[in-house]
A and B are shown apart, each in its own frame.
Chain A
């Protein structure tokens, strides 16, 4: 972006001073307009290599944990699932547990120490509504409390001010139609969203040129000037992101929709965006009927995508900067239903992917003898995983983000 029109403010400080005066109590949370910093960008050091980036992947719909991590020694499993139980082709990772036959990539990741499996993750008094349970995971509240902010939003609000997210890069980026509730916050932060499929819509250059000129003309109002900065940032970020995605040369073979999304994430990480958190979703896990084929395909896509993503990061020597967490709003009922599927359940395995993970397998084999309302009991609270991510990955204080004390887990 060439700064060929009248600049609004010369320096970031001047910009902030000017804006703060007019905007009163507005929390500025470190937006700097790109067109002010872009000329300087060339001289600025690349983002520090000590970045800690988090990639959250939601398996939307409720992943069937028992057919993902299969307790293949347990007769009870086959009793509960005479048709759906997976009897052959599974990939043992311990004496009692095996990954789904389609999870070759995840098996390799596991054996290389790049994938941790945490068994039986859930929360007390599980809710079986997609909407509500997703919200519980997003807000990290007890299941009987309706929260407002997302846990990552609270992290942005409370723990990120200090290290000054000063760049124009978005703080968080999601590849999904809606902004995920994880990012909801008290203060405004720069959140960028990309469509899950296809490119960002291409804009007519002539049109955009005039809009850019208007956006850079001196503003008639204070809020107007705030909007100008945001809009200029948006225009620049959009172009930049699309450019990064278009030019990216992946060092691994990505497949499927999830693969395409993760390739975009890899592109942005490799391009040095200062974005701290990425959110990606993979749908299709709500397998009430004729589950076997569909579920197997989803897991195949997941496994390939995860493996490709990690390989790509390793080849780019970026795997030490990225932690990936794969979760689902709930698991599914151990007992298969009458339509060759499974209904909404409770606890399920959660996956953490990254370099030098501490414990490959955490937690017991799911206890099918000791169910609660016909569902698996949780052994770990998902907020223990969040607490570990905040403390051991982001090096921040979990109490700034989570309500209540949650013991961290030896993962990272």
Chain B
């Protein structure tokens, strides 16, 4: 595959995009990739303030507090747990059921609150990077179960995700969710469990081929003694080091022998040549192209990044302002993840996330990306792996749900309450109402379709594509509203809108 940037030197490709190339096209590309959508007003704003400032502002650092309902559910779990002592088996079983219910609630409220947060355009770039980090430091709800603990893991990524990647890796090794997910709590002197040490090297920092089995085995001994507590005053769970289970003997890792502890192992990992390439490579796969950027180009970036102590903010600023990032062959060629698709739709149409957690969960699951629940430790493979017959069908259904109001009669009491609550909270609308369509109805058909295509799609579409839509909306006025809605539906379901 030949890249148009092929005639630039690796160093040049990472230089900032010349300012005369900063325009609505490049700005829209940036916004769609660092966040979830590129609405014309946001694009114009980005053009006005400039590329460097836009990227800088996107990662300014915004806090996402513990969702209140997650917190309440976690308190209830604690309360119920305490109540289980000295009870007969029957009572304990009943309490156990209540605990499970509260656990589900703590988690689904976390999911709901996160979507609301990430959906706010000013948070989108940060939260998308958090999603990226979650795909590096994978934990899964199916194993960790507790919403509060998963929130804390995510928040760790948010809090430290813009500093040194090496320091982040150290913090992650102490994250209770990670300790549980990769069985570090079961890794003790004499019988170390290799899961964490292996994934640390293979999936978090180096990649296959950059370490030996021996390195994994020996490093695993350095991470013995890692464990976590139950609730503390400030956290749902906290790191605890148990010196009695720690193996303080000498270990030989990467050819060096010493009484290394976990942090020292991570230091050594980041001295390996693979470390400076790994994250930049993954970052490009996530944000830029499913086809890997050749190492030749990444080498330069990796070297510079390592010199800056693996600073993630520097890496993001450099990549997202680089000439390479804007190379024309990358534009409009990346398949949106289900979460990108969902939040992007809501932003594009100015909708709030439908406030019913079960609905959200169902939609995400059927599109193949359940919140905080990747299929395994490698995380989602993304790209073409998102696309199956059933996931496409689920994407189509999602658009339909956003364009046509739900049948009120089919909502249960709980759903109705959630919707009322959300409306009181000043949320909504949750689907495209007639009012939204009104301004479009008077445009003449080609104008309307050109407008919609430009608004929603990352690339200029072929005439044949547009013609199909134009023909569809060229109808007498009383049919127009329904036809425009159908055109919008098909447009947002179409392959073209799956791309970013």
Contacts and interface: CB of A to CB of B under 8 A. Distances in A.
A219 B89 contact: no
Nearest to A27: B384
A184 B376 contact: yes
Contacts of B400: 207
B333 A221 contact: yes
Nearest to A177: B365
Contact of B495 (A135, A148, A191, A219): A219
A210 B472 contact: yes
Contacts of B465: 214, 217-220
A289 B93 contact: yes
A26 B290 contact: yes
Interface stretch (B99-107, B229-237, B345-353, B455-463): B455-463
Given A24-B1, A227-B498, A139 B376 contact: yes
B79 interface: no
A207 B375 contact: no
A290 to B, nearest CB: 11
A211 B396 contact: yes
Given A207-B486, A210-B490, A218-B462, A132 B143 contact: yes
Q: Which of A145, A191, A201, A207 has the most CB of B within 10 A?
A: A207
B390 interface: yes
B389 A213 contact: no
Interface stretch (A113-121, A155-163, A233-241): A233-241
Contacts of A211: 396, 489-490, 493-494
Contacts of A222: 333
Interface string A169-194: 01000000111010010001011111
Interface string B468-493: 11001000000000000011011101
Nearest to A229: B495
B397 interface: yes
A224 interface: yes
A206 B486 CA distance: 9
A327 B237 CA distance: 36
Contacts of B396: 203, 211
Contacts of B1: 24-25
Contacts of B376: 135, 139, 146-148, 181, 184
Interface residues of A, number: 57
Nearest to B292: A25
Q: Which of B397, B472, B490 has the most CB of A within 10 A?
A: B490
A190 B388 CA distance: 6
Contacts of B496: 214, 219-221, 224
Given A24-B291, A148-B378, A339-B89, A220 B392 contact: no
B317 interface: no
Contacts of B193: 144
Interface string B134-160: 000000001100000000000000000
B377 interface: yes
Contacts of B461: 217, 220
Interface string A136-157: 0001000011111000000000
A282 interface: no
B199 to A, nearest CB: 8
Contacts of B490: 207, 210-211, 214
Q: Which of B89, B290, B376, B460 has the most CB of A within 10 A?
A: B376
A268 B1 CA distance: 40
A226 interface: yes
Contacts of A148: 376-378
Interface string B109-123: 000000000000000
A339 B89 CA distance: 8
Nearest to A148: B378
A207 B439 CA distance: 22
B100 to A, nearest CB: 12
Contacts of B290: 26, 223
Nearest to A180: B375
Contacts of A220: 332, 459-462, 465, 496
Interface string A335-352: 000110000000000000
A362 interface: no
Given A146-B182, A227-B495, A230-B392, 5 more contacts: A26-B290, A210-B469, A214-B494, A217-B468, A227-B499
Interface of A: 6, 23-26, 129, 131-132, 135, 139, 144-148, 170, 177-179, 181, 184, 188, 190-194, 200-201, 203, 206-207, 210-211, 213-215, 217-224, 226-228, 230-231, 233-234, 237-238, 289, 338-339
12 contacts: A23-B291, A25-B291, A144-B193, A146-B376, A177-B366, A179-B368, A188-B387, A192-B388, A193-B388, A201-B393, A211-B490, A227-B335
State the 10 A-B residue pairs at the shortest beta-carbon distance, nearest first.
A227-B495, A193-B390, A234-B389, A24-B1, A217-B465, A210-B490, A213-B468, A217-B464, A220-B459, A214-B494
